[in-house]
Structure 1
Amino acid sequence: MSSVLFDSPGPRGRRLVMFGNVASGVVVAGVVVFVLVVLAQQGQLDPALWVAALDGRAWQFYYLPGLQNTLRAAAFATVGAVAFGVLFGVGRLSLNPLVRVLSGVVVEFFRAVPVLLMMFFLWVFFSRQLTWVPDRPYAAVVVALVLYNGSVIAELVRSGVRNLPRGQSEAALAVGLTGAQSLRSVLLPQALVAMLPAVISQLVVVLKDSALGTLIAYPELLRATQILASGEQNPLQALTVAALVFIVLNWLLSVLAHRLSLTLSSRTSGKTVEGVGIGNPVAAPVVPEPH
C-alpha cells in the first residue's frame, strides 16, 4: 500500500480534480493559440526565417563557434572550480582555526556575490589593471565561474566529509593516522566519490551561467545567436535553436549524473557480512562432508 501525504479524494474530489485539469489544459491551449496567432500576424512564422536560422551558414559561422566558446569556458571553469572547491573545502575542515575561518570567509563571500556582478568586476579589472591578459572577456567569465561554483563545491566537500559514518575517522585514528592524514587518505577520497554526481550536476549550472558572458561581449553561444538574429531579423527562430542546444546539453549532463549516481550506489551498497573485529572473529567456512 503506497503512502500518501493526504487522504485519497472521494468521487466528488476526483470530479473536481478532473475538471481542474481539463480547465487548465483549455487555458494553456488557448494561450498557445493566441501566441501563435500574434506571431503569425507579425510574420514571425514565415518559413524563410526558420530556414535562415537552421541552414549550414548559421551553424558554421554562428552556432558551432559559439558552442565551442561555451564549452571551452565551461570546461576550464569546471576544472578550476573542482580544484578551488577541494582546496577550500578541506580548508573548512582544517584543525587550524585560522585556516578554517579564512576558508569559510572566502567560500561564503563568493557564494553570496552574484556571478554576473563578478564577471563585470573582473572584466573592468582586467581591462584597466591587467591589460596584458589576451582575452579579457573569456578570462572574466572563467574566473567568475570558478569562484562561484568552486565555493559551492567546497560546501559539497565539507558536507560530504561530515556525512560520512563516524566510524571511518575513528578507524583511521585507531590505526595510528593523525587527523590530517585521516582526512587526506580516508575521508576525502570517499567524499569525492560520493559527491561526484552532485559535481556533474553542478556542470549544468556552469554551462548555463556561461551565457552571462554575452553581457561582457564574450562570443559564446547566446552572443553568437544574437548576432545572427540581428542580421537575419529572426530572433524567435535563432533563440529557439540556441535554447534547444542548451536543453540537449543540460539533459545529457543530467542523464550522466543520474547514471553515475546509480552506478556508485550499486558499488557502495550491498549486504554486509561479518568480518574481523574485536570480539568478532571470522567464522570458518562450513565444508560439506564427503559422502
Structure 2
Amino acid sequence: MSASVLFDTPGPKARFRNLVYSVVGSIGLAALIAWVCYRLYDKGQFAGELWDIFNYAGIRENILDALMSTLKVFALAGLFSLVFAVLLCVARLSDHKPVRWVAVVFIDLFRSIPLLITIFALWVGILGHMTPMWALVLGLTIYNGCVQAEVLRAGVNSVPKGQVEAAYALGLRKTQVTASVLFPQAVRAMLPSIISQLVVTLKDTSLGYIILYPELLYSARLIANNTPVGGVYPTVQTVIVFGAIYISLCLALAWLAKFVEQRGSRSKAGIVPAGAKELEEAAAPAAPEAKGPDGTAPPSK
C-alpha cells in the first residue's frame, strides 16, 4: 500500500512547516539537555572522584548481593508464574462453566489491580505474616501468571481446529489432547511473547524496594543517599551503574527471545511441502508383485 493512500502528499508549505517544527523541536530538546547537564555540573555530579566509591569492596559486595537477590526473586517468580499460568489457562478453557467463570474473574481482577498494591497487601499481612521476599515473589507470580495465562490461551486458540478434531477421532481424551496437541503448539507459537513477559517480570522486581527487599533498586537508593564524596552524593554515577545492570539483564532476555524465535522460524522453514509428483506417487497403487511360472515369487538376488 502506497503512502499516498494513507495520507495526502504534503505540498511545499506543509513541507516547510514540518521542517520548521523539526528544527524548533530539535533546538528545544538540545536546550533542555544542555540545561540539565549544566545543573548537574553545577551540583558537582560530573566530578571524577564520585566514581571512586565503586572501587570499595563493601560497595561491590552490596551490588553483587542485590543482583543475586534480584535474580533469585526473578527465577522463583518466573517459574511459579508459568506453572500458575498453565493452571489458569486450563481452568479458563474448561468445559465446566463454574470453573471457567472463576478463572475469568480471577484473571480479570488481578490484571486490573496495580501490581504494587498486590505486593504491598501481601507484605502487610493480608494472608498472614510474610517476608518481603515471598511477598514480592507471590505478587509477581499472581500478576504475571494471569498475563501469561491469557498469552497461552491465545496460543491454544490459534491451533487449527482440524488438529483437535483429528486427535479426538483417534480416541484421545481431552486431557491428552490438551497436553499432547494444544499446549506444545501454543507454547511454541507464543514463546516470544512469553519471554517478553518474563522481561517485564524482571523489571517489576524493582518494586521490592517499597517493601524493603534488598534488590537492585533498593541497593542503588542506599548507595546514592549514604555515600557522599566531598559533600556530593553520587546520584548520576549510581543511576548509570545500576541502569547498565538492568539493561544488560533485559537485553540478555531479549536476545534469548530473538534466538528462540529465529530457531522456531528455521524449524518451520525446514519443513518442505510435498510437490505434485510426490503426491501422485503416494496416491498411485502399488505395482503387482512379479511371480514365476509356478505362481510363486522369484527368489531374491
Question: Which whole-Å deviations, capped at 9, do the CAs of 1:49-102 have from their partners, x for residues lacking one?
Answer: 2332x4253652322211111111011100000000011111111112222112
1:201-280 → structure 2 map (5 Å cutoff): 201-232=196-227, 233-269=233-269, 271-273=272-274
Counterpart Cα distance in 1 of 2:247 and 2:210: 21
2:295 aligns with none
1:287 aligns with none
Counterpart Cα distance in 1 of 2:9 and 2:67: 48
Distance of aligned partners of 1:26 and 1:69 in 2 relative to their CA distance in 1, 3 Å threshold? same
Q: Which deviates more from structure 2 when the two are superposed, residues 208-217 or residues 101-110?
A: 101-110
Please say if residues 58 and 228 of structure 1, whose CA atoms lie closer than 8 Å, have aligned partners that are also in contact.
no
- Tell me how far 1:3 sits from its aligned partner: 5.2
1:165 aligns with 160
Counterpart Cα distance in 2 of 1:219 and 1:119: 15
2:289 aligns with none
Amino acid at match of 1:42: K
- Tell me how far 1:266 sits from its aligned partner: 2.8
User: Aligned to 2:159, what secondary structure does the other structure show?
Assistant: coil
> RCO greater where, 1 or 2, for CA within 8 Å and sep 6 or more?
1
2:19 aligns with 18
Q: Which deviates more from structure 2 when the two are superposed, residues 76-85 or residues 66-75?
A: 66-75
Query: Does 2:93 align with 1:93?
Result: yes
1:35 aligns with 36
Question: Which whole-Å deviations, capped at 9, do the CAs of 1:117-173 have from their partners, x for residues lacking one?
Answer: 1111111117x933xx6xx00000000000000000111111110121121212212
Amino acid at match of 2:29: V
Q: Which deviates more from structure 2 when the two are superposed, residues 36-45 or residues 55-64?
A: 55-64
Distance of aligned partners of 1:273 and 1:264 in 2 relative to their CA distance in 1, 3 Å threshold? same
The CA RMSD measured in Å over matched residues stands at 2.5
1:45 aligns with 46
Q: Which deviates more from structure 2 when the two are superposed, residues 82-91 or residues 112-121?
A: 112-121
User: Aligned to 1:105, what secondary structure does the other structure show?
Assistant: helix
Q: TM-score, normalised by structure 2?
A: 0.83
User: Aligned to 1:282, what secondary structure does the other structure show?
Assistant: helix
Percent identity between matched residues is 37
Structure 2: any 5+ residue segments left out of the alignment? Answer: 228-232, 285-301
Q: TM-score, normalised by structure 1?
A: 0.85
Question: Which whole-Å deviations, capped at 9, do the CAs of 1:227-263 have from their partners, x for residues lacking one?
Answer: 1112222223212321221122112212221221222
* Aligned residue pairs, count: 275
Please say if residues 115 and 148 of structure 1, whose CA atoms lie closer than 8 Å, have aligned partners that are also in contact.
yes
Distance of aligned partners of 1:51 and 1:10 in 2 relative to their CA distance in 1, 3 Å threshold? farther
User: Aligned to 1:177, what secondary structure does the other structure show?
Assistant: coil
- Tell me how far 1:190 sits from its aligned partner: 0.7
Counterpart Cα distance in 1 of 2:56 and 2:282: 68
